Chain A
């Protein structure tokens, strides 16, 4: 079966980015924070493959080191979203009506509430940081995961095989473990990759509005935000981080599609 071209491509892209991100702990071409005021705004050259920025720092090194911040933020936000979302979703689906309604209402509030405005307020209170980004995106995405999960979990819980399992004496936890989580998996993968790409883009958007990672921590979003004032003079400085953000998002989406195609029985036939 030749099916998963998307899976292979996506896994390849994300895999290499992860290797780079992890490797950046050990090695970057230059120390990413090394300032050289004599070498500002240099174009690509053999020593600086992607050129240097407004402080004469090596752009490639910052892209590599920034991968760490950006991907870690995306990973943590996704993890938060999945934990909150699955827990609330399954609990709602498996509970009595009033608890179900309460959770649904709560989730709807967070889905309806524009996450960015939530972030604006939190940042105004706590100051800009990557943690704020992670938390805001995690909670907001968690709410939509919860809504979707509740619907799908309810379908599964009402399916004949679960009823059969229940009659054969399985505990609720066992049912959730063996049937619900397993059958939710394809949908959760899609949700997770969605949350991860939103997190990556959100990190840069929040940085643009002055709400993202604190300098000098290298991050793709902050590189975009801090170099946009030079876009007319040195457009390459905004191109590189934008390019890598796009690569990461496309990679994650392809990966999600690929996993979905592999796992979703209706597509495999």
Chain B
């Protein structure tokens, strides 16, 4: 019988033991029987399945160093497909065992034990507990330049990683409710011990082998035949990269690719929807399109001014203009898929005259010059002129400055030399960035910091949820930024393609279940 993969969320982590079942040939055979009974449309292995699927993306990796190079492009292709961690996150947001056969969290939340399964690296070597210890210990050396600083920070509460036979233990100095999630992401990836070349090769344990990279064009993954679990459904999966969103759309319409993994100009969706041979898939993401304000700089160091900025913007009209109406208004920094979400859109609702009066009251002279720095990405460029116009109506004189991502990282993010900017904060559970007073928002609020710390240390999931909900409300009331909309995950596929993850819940783009029945 097909067994539903057991799920495990980081929220109800108690004293639990989880077993996962290896299902491959059996599951397929069952699916096939069900299929012939008319219960399942697809999944019957003997049916003609295309041996190759081509997926279109917009950002190509610059190298393969998943732990040392920032950006979404590398984990998108490598995480869960080529590399695996002890645990992984699935489409509904729950966490399940991966290289760990099972795992166990102590009652005080300070000890995690993982029982490893028999797995093999793509170069034929077996997975050992030493590999796991070696890989995760890399994250404990806070002097290293081989690992991104953000990951070092994520694992800062880990004291030691030890192994005994095939059991790996992670010991923490204090409770960390995000540890399991962090282990599903790039920081938790398991390498073969003593790997030195991270940038040029990728020797993982995942269902796909990194086969070929045509720089500037595509990456080819081939099914790993010795995979420990259910093998990939399609033999060859090609990630094709397009520098330009329009080029990606055209390739989809011309039939050059099977899946368009992101829609960067939703206005064109009607063209895809009008085609019988294509399907539009929509889901959720963790990407909050944020209008960041520099809280350390006048006039945005005044909460009244920040609130006025939020009130000046008609989010509904903005979403129509910039994203063809496909975004969700959230009023805060929490996506509706998180348990601690609540609708905060009434905290600073659209009210142009209230905004104008508030600015006058705050001493902002009409025509005060401010700059809006806009990075080169459609959600930002499409909304910039609307925002400049709306803020112009309440008393600002907005100059739009297009910036490259390099300049954005350098001047805005690192040197914090900006007034306003637009960027999508894509990380999951990222409320903590507002608790860091050095982060480029320069939002410094002790009460909020305490709430985030309390949530991180909460022993009970209900307590954590309640604390985070309170933090989210406080954050929205303080208006350190405005949150314009929650980005939808929009994909277009050929009709006969199945097995795509609808939602974008982590950094990976899992291809194992994708197939094309022709």
The answer to A–B direct touch (Cβ < 8 A) is yes
Contacts from A to B (Cβ < 8 Å): 33, 35, 37, 40, 54-55, 123-124, 127-128, 210, 214-216, 226, 228-234
Within 8 A of A (CB), among B368-415: 374, 376, 378, 381-382, 384-386, 388-389, 399-404, 406-407
0 or 1 for each of B217-254: is its CB under 8 Å from A? (1 = yes): 00000000000000000000000000001100100010
A127 touching B267 in the complex, CB below 8 Å, given contacts A226-B381, A229-B246: no
| Proximity bits, B246-278, A CB within 8 Å = 1, else 0 | 100100010000000000110110110000000
Of chain A, the residue at the smallest CB distance from B402 is A128
Which B-chain residue is minimally distant from A226 (CB atoms)? B381
Q: Nearest-CB distance from B267 to chain A (Å)?
A: 5
Let me know if A210 and B402 touch, CB within 8 A: yes
Q: Is B321 an interface residue (CB 8 A)?
A: yes
What residues of chain A lie closer than 8 Å to B401, measured between beta carbons? 127, 214
- For B320, list chain A residues within 8 Å (CB): 37, 40
- Chain A nearest CB, measured from B342 CB (Å): 28
Sample (12) of A-B pairs whose CB atoms are under 8 Å apart: A33-B389, A37-B386, A40-B320, A55-B321, A55-B385, A127-B403, A214-B401, A214-B402, A216-B388, A228-B246, A229-B246, A229-B268
Q: Are B376 and A210 in contact (CB under 8 A)?
A: yes
**Assembly CA distance A35 to B267 (angstroms):** 18
Inter-chain contact A230/B268, CB cutoff 8 Å:
yes
Whether B317 is near chain A, meaning CB under 8 Å from some CB there, is: yes
Residues of A within 8 A of B384 (CB): 215
Across the interface, B246 reaches (CB within 8 A) one of A35, A128, A231, A234, namely A231
A111–B321 alpha-carbon span in the complex (Å): 43
Interchain CB contact under 8 A, A215 and B385: yes
A35 in contact with B386 (CB, 8 Å): yes
Residues of A within 8 A of B403 (CB): 127
Assuming the A-B contacts A35-B385, A229-B265, are A40 and B321 also in contact, with contact meaning beta carbons closer than 8 angstroms in the complex? yes
Q: Are A37 and B317 in contact (CB under 8 A)?
A: yes
A218 → chain B, closest Cβ, in Å? 11
Query: For the complex, what is the distance from the CA of A231 to the CA of B249, rounded to whole Å?
Result: 11
Identify 16 new A-B residue pairs, CB closer than 8 A, beyond the known A216-B385, A228-B246, A232-B271. A35-B389, A54-B267, A55-B321, A55-B386, A124-B404, A127-B401, A127-B404, A127-B407, A210-B376, A214-B401, A215-B384, A216-B388, A229-B264, A229-B265, A230-B267, A234-B267
Q: List residues of chain B with CB within 8 A of the CB of A231.
A: 246
Residue in A55, A232, A233 with the greatest tally of chain B CB atoms within 10 Å: A232
Contacts A37-B317, A55-B385: A229 and B245 contacting too (C-beta < 8 A)? yes
Docked-complex contact B389 and A232, CB < 8 angstroms = no
Q: Which residue of A lies closest to B245 (CB)?
A: A229
For B386, the chain A residues whose CB sits under 8 A away are: 35, 37, 55
Question: Which secondary structure dominates chain A's binding surface?
Answer: loop
Contact with A215, one of B246, B317, B400, B407 (Cβ below 8 angstroms): B400
Collect the chain B residues with CB atoms within 8 Å of residue A128's CB.
Answer: 402
Binary interface profile of B, 312-344, with partner A (CB < 8 Å = 1, else 0)?
A: 001001001100000000000000000000000
A127 to B386, CA, bound (A): 21
CA distance A35 to B385 in the complex (A): 9
Give Cα A6 to B291, complex, Å. Answer: 53
Closest A-B pairs by Cβ, 8 of them: A229-B265, A37-B317, A210-B376, A232-B271, A128-B402, A216-B385, A215-B400, A35-B389
Cα distance, A4 to B389, chains bound together (Å): 48
Q: A54-B321, A216-B400, A226-B381 are in contact. Are A233 and B268 (CB under 8 A)?
A: yes
Decide: A127 and B402 in contact? CB cutoff 8 A: yes
Q: Which residue of A lies closest to B404 (CB)?
A: A124
B268 touches A232 (CB 8 A): yes
- What B residues does A228 contact at CB under 8 A? 246
Q: What chain B residues lie within 8 Å of A210 (beta carbons)?
A: 376, 402, 404
> What per-residue 1/0 map shows which CB atoms of B152-189 lie under 8 Å from chain A?
00000000000000000000000000000000000000
Residues A215 and B381 in contact in the complex (CB < 8 Å), given A55-B321, A231-B246, A232-B271: yes
Cβ 8 A contact of A233, one of B267, B317, B374, B385: B267
Question: How close is A11's CB to chain B, nearest CB, in angstroms?
Answer: 36
Complex CA distance for A214 and B401, rounded to whole angstroms: 6
A197: min CB distance to chain B, Å: 25
Contact B400 A230 (CB under 8 A): no
The answer for the CA separation of A216 and B320 in the assembled complex, in Å, is 19
Determine the chain B residues whose CB is within 8 A of the CB of A229 once the complex forms: 245-246, 264-265, 267-268, 378
B225 CB to closest chain A CB (Å) equals: 41
Q: A127-B402, A214-B402, A216-B388 are in contact. Are A230 and B265 (CB under 8 A)?
A: yes
B406 proximity list for chain A (CB < 8 A) = 124
B392 to chain A: closest residue by CB: A33
Smallest CB separation, A19 vs chain B (Å) = 28
- Report how far A214 CA is from B388 CA in the complex, Å: 12
Q: How far is the CA of A214 from the CA of B398 in the complex (A)?
A: 12
A214→B400 contact, CB < 8 A: yes
Q: Give Cα A232–Cα B248 distance, bound, in whole angstroms.
A: 13
Contacts of B249 in A (CB 8 A): 232
Name the residue of chain B whose CB is nearest to the CB of A40: B321
Contact partner of A54 (CB less than 8 A), chosen from B317, B382, B402, is B382
Contact partners of B246 in chain A: CB under 8 A: 228-229, 231
Alpha-carbon distance A37/B381, docked complex (angstroms)? 16
Chain B residue nearest in CB terms to A213 = B402
* Chain B 297-318 per-residue mask, 1 if CB under 8 angstroms from chain A, else 0: 0000000000000000010010
Query: What residues on B are CB-neighbors of A215 within 8 Å?
Result: 374, 381, 384-385, 388, 400, 402
Compute how far the CA of A123 lies from the CA of B402 in the bound complex, rounded to whole angstroms: 10
A33 to chain B: which residues have CB within 8 Å?
Answer: 385, 389
Residues in B with CB closer than 8 Å to A40 are 320-321
Cβ–Cβ < 8 Å partners of B385 in chain A: 33, 35, 55, 215-216
- On chain A, the residues within 8 Å of B389 by CB distance are 33, 35, 216
With a cutoff of 8 Å between Cβ atoms, the chain A residues found around residue B253 in the complex are 232
Complex Cα–Cα for A231 and B267 (A): 10
Q: List, in ascending order, chain A residues with CB within 8 A of B271's CB.
A: 232-233
State the CA gap A40–B314 with chains docked (Å). 16
* Contact B402–A233 (Cβ < 8 Å): no
CA separation between A167 and B403, bound complex, in Å? Answer: 60
Instruction: Give B403 Cβ to nearest chain A Cβ, in Å.
Output: 6
- Distance between Cα atoms of A210 and B405 in the complex (Å): 12
With the chains together, A52 CA to B110 CA distance in Å? 61
A107 to chain B, nearest CB (A): 30
* Residue from A33, A40, A215, A230 with most neighbouring chain B CB atoms (10 Å): A215
CA distance A128 to B388 in the complex (A): 18
- Bound state CA distance, A33 and B400, in angstroms? 13
